[in-house]
């Protein structure tokens, strides 16, 4: 960029950029007003900027971070729970986090198998800058970064993983959804012998069968129908595990929540044999007949 000088004044909170641009004023204004365009030239190529907030107005604020490949930002609104950040990769990596207050946190292998995990107790609200690195210079590898307010160590031998993508999709349901019930055709069963949160019913897949994001309150009922002996396992928005075997009759399960909270429900439909079976998942505001 043809920038000739940059003048900053901390007392007046101003930043003056002086440059010559061979474009109309309107085009230049658009480039500075649009954060996606601004990211293309705000900072050196090896440290590209990512804007998480950009208010192009008097009194507005702009938040951004700069990082090499392997970096990302998280705008986080803190609640009462701890924040966990962990990484999974096929190679030996490391994790570094800068908190909103500027504190630097790092970890190497706390998540096992050369993976790493950082638990942030009493986290702050604001921008967290996350860097995932390796031990070989100028080599890049695939890695997945996970953010959760639930301790990832709860995933034991008998616990499925609610962070994986659901096998048979997801849905968003409002207070008075229609049609009611919402039905999903799927295949029940899996190779995990359930033993989590006091639930020891059946065998389920590692990933959820289906995810439901519910917005509302009041009754919510999950049931399954199948020619096989099926089970239900549900992880609620608060992290509680619920399960059932035969409450719907004829070896069919039913989990009823009289005061369902808004949020994400991870649902597994299992079988006692572990073998896959055709099943239908029903989500309703009314107790199934």
CA distance 277 to 60: 56
How confident is the model over 244-260, as a mean pLDDT?
A: 93
Name the 3-class secondary structure at 168: coil
Location of each CATH 2.60.120.380 domain in the chain: 71-154, 170-284
Contact 277, 226 (CB under 8 A): yes
Question: Which secondary structure element, helix H or strand E, spans residue 28, and what is its range?
Answer: helix 25-33
Rg (CA), the chain: 25
- Answer yes or no: are the C-beta atoms of 232 and 226 closer than 8 Å: no
- pTM of the predicted protein model: 0.56
Tokens linked to 242: 């619920």
**Structure confidence at residue 157 (pLDDT):** 64
Q: How confident is the model at residue 171 (pLDDT cuts 50, 70, 90)?
A: very high
Topology annotation, domain 71-154: Jelly Rolls (2.60.120)
Instruction: For CA atoms 130, 132, 137, 138, give the dihedral sign.
Output: negative
Query: What are the pLDDT digits (tens) for 198-228?
Result: 889 899 999 999 999 999 999 999 999 999 9
Looking at the domain that runs over 170-284, which CATH code has it been given? 2.60.120.380
Give the pLDDT of residue 18. 86
Judging by DSSP bridges, how do beta strands 277-284 and 182-188 pair with one another?
antiparallel
**pLDDT for 58-98, tens place per residue?**
888 887 766 555 577 888 999 888 899 988 877 777 888 88
| Cα distance between residue 268 and residue 211, in whole Å | 9
């Amino acid at each position: 960029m043809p920038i000739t000088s940059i003048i900053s004044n901390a007392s007046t909170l101003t930043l003056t950029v002086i440059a010559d641009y061979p474009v109309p004023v309107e085009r230049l204004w658009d480039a500075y007003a649009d954060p996606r365009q601004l990211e293309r030239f705000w900072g050196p190529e090896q440290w590209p900027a990512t804007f998480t907030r950009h208010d192009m107005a008097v009194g507005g604020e702009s938040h951004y971070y700069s990082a090499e490949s392997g970096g990302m930002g998280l705008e986080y609104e803190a609640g009462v729970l701890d924040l966990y950040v962990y990484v999974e990769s096929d190679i030996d990596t490391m994790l570094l986090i800068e908190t909103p207050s500027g504190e630097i946190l790092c970890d190497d292998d706390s998540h096992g198998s050369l993976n790493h995990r950082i638990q942030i107790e009493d986290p702050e609200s604001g921008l967290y800058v996350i860097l995932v690195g390796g031990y070989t210079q100028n080599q890049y590898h695939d890695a997945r970064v996970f953010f959760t307010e639930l301790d990832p160590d709860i995933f034991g031998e008998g616990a499925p993983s609610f962070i994986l993508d659901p096998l048979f999709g997801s849905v968003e349901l409002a207070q008075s959804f229609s049609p009611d019930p919402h039905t999903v055709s799927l295949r029940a069963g899996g190779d995990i012998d359930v033993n989590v949160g006091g639930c020891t019913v059946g065998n389920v897949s590692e990933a959820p069968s289906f995810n439901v994001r519910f917005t509302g309150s009041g009754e919510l009922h999950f049931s399954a129908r199948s020619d096989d002996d099926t089970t239900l396992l549900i992880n609620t928005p608060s992290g509680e595990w619920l399960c059932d075997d035969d409450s719907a009759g004829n070896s069919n399960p039913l989990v009823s929540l009289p005061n369902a909270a808004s949020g994400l429900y991870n649902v597994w439909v299992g079988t006692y044999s572990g073998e896959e079976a055709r099943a239908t998942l029903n989500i309703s505001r009314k107790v199934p007949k």
